[in-house]
Amino acid sequence: MDVILGIDTSCYTTSAALADVETHDCVKYRLEMLLPEKGERGLRQSTALFLHIKNLPRVTKELLEGGDYCIKGVCVSASPRPLEGSYMPVFEAGCSVAECMANGLGVPLYRTTHQENHIMAASGGRIKDRFMALHLSGGTTEMLIAEPKTCGYGIDIISATGDISLGKLIDRVGVKMGLDFPCGKALEELALSADSGFVPPVKLYDGGVSLSGAEKQFMDAVGEEDDAVIARGLFEYAGRLLEKWVSHHVERANVKDVLFAGGVASNKIIKEKLLSSDKLKGVDLHFAQPQLCRDNAVGTAMIGTYFWEESKK
């Protein structure tokens, strides 16, 4: 099978994927989480870079085992966003390995970005017109307008959190409860056991989002309210906030499709709130498969197939 190898080295995940050059579909992917010490709320870039260098040989070996693959090109997430000056040291690990592999195999090296990777993995390339994308992760809470291009996306940020991301809010509260980082999955299990939640007021600030006030209220509630009630409230708060944020901007942006990508978008409570929203009736909401919401190289490999296809014209 002719494939493109995709590599993505984000702040918390080493990942590689294969995509079929004919169908553009993902064939297989592998990933390895980068986990901080218990009680810690994140990793230094230098530590993550070192872990990527250790992980990449094993992750790529597992990816390529058991299949008859002919690698036609290598595509790598080279930066966080398709914006001038966008840079994080962690992506250097993927770029270095991708360039070595492309040179060794004698195949083209293609470059894309982590954000385009998320959007492609979440949408599967199925949205062909200009659309709104919400990138919701541990490091990012951004509202984007995405314009499909031949290979990837043109992206404009139209609104973003003024302080911490939704993912950081969730993880910080979870760590204070004594949960292991990242905390989203454990908090979701807790939340689903509660009938109601502790939900602070939901506000926009000139159409934007600020989470530091809600963070203080949730942190103060730890120890005062039941953990399950706080967990439920976290995700109900996130759902209400996203509902309000999207409904404020979607008509102004003149789009009919809204895509939710990134790890936070996999949460069942948030998804149910948005899909049942009266404020968002008439808007086509798209959600990634839960396993493709988290960081992975699936979109990077898929974008690589379009680069390869374009090179053959």
Q: How many domains does the chain have?
A: 2
DSSP letter (8 states) at residue 147: E
Question: Within this chain, do residues 167 and 267 fall inside the same structural domain, yes or no?
Answer: yes
Give the pLDDT of residue 35: 84
Determine the 3-state secondary structure of 303 from DSSP.
helix
Question: Within this chain, do residues 173 and 271 fall inside the same structural domain, yes or no?
Answer: yes
Q: How many CA atoms lie within 13 A of 54 on its CB side?
A: 10
Per the DSSP assignment, residues forming a β-bridge with 74 are: 5, 109
Question: Within this chain, do residues 306 and 276 fall inside the same structural domain, yes or no?
Answer: no
Q: Dihedral sign, CA of 43, 49, 51, 52?
A: positive
Other C-beta atoms closer than 10 Å to the C-beta of 241 total: 23
* Locus of tokens 């499709």: 257
Question: Within this chain, do residues 259 and 306 fall inside the same structural domain, yes or no?
Answer: no
Determine the 3-state secondary structure of 287 from DSSP.
strand
Give the pLDDT of residue 139: 87
Question: Within this chain, do residues 54 and 94 fall inside the same structural domain, yes or no?
Answer: yes
Mean pLDDT, consecutive 10-residue stretches, the chain (313 aa), reads 98 97 97 85 91 97 96 98 94 98 98 97 95 94 97 96 95 95 95 95 94 97 97 98 97 96 94 97 93 94 98 91
Contacts of 224 (CB under 8 A, 6+ apart): none
Q: Diameter of the chain by CA atoms?
A: 64
Give the pLDDT of residue 42: 80
- Pairing outcome for strands 13-20 and 109-113: unpaired
Which domain range does residue 196 map to?
A: 158-290
Other C-beta atoms closer than 10 Å to the C-beta of 33 total: 13
Question: Within this chain, do residues 182 and 305 fall inside the same structural domain, yes or no?
Answer: no
Does 182 fall in a domain? yes
Question: Within this chain, do residues 122 and 165 fall inside the same structural domain, yes or no?
Answer: no
Does 141 fall in a domain? no
Question: Within this chain, do residues 20 and 106 fall inside the same structural domain, yes or no?
Answer: yes
Give the pLDDT of residue 266: 93
Cα 54 to chain centroid, rounded? 23
Give the pLDDT of residue 288: 87
Question: Within this chain, do residues 285 and 300 fall inside the same structural domain, yes or no?
Answer: no
* Helix (H) / strand (E) containing 157: strand 152-160
pTM reported for the whole predicted model: 0.93
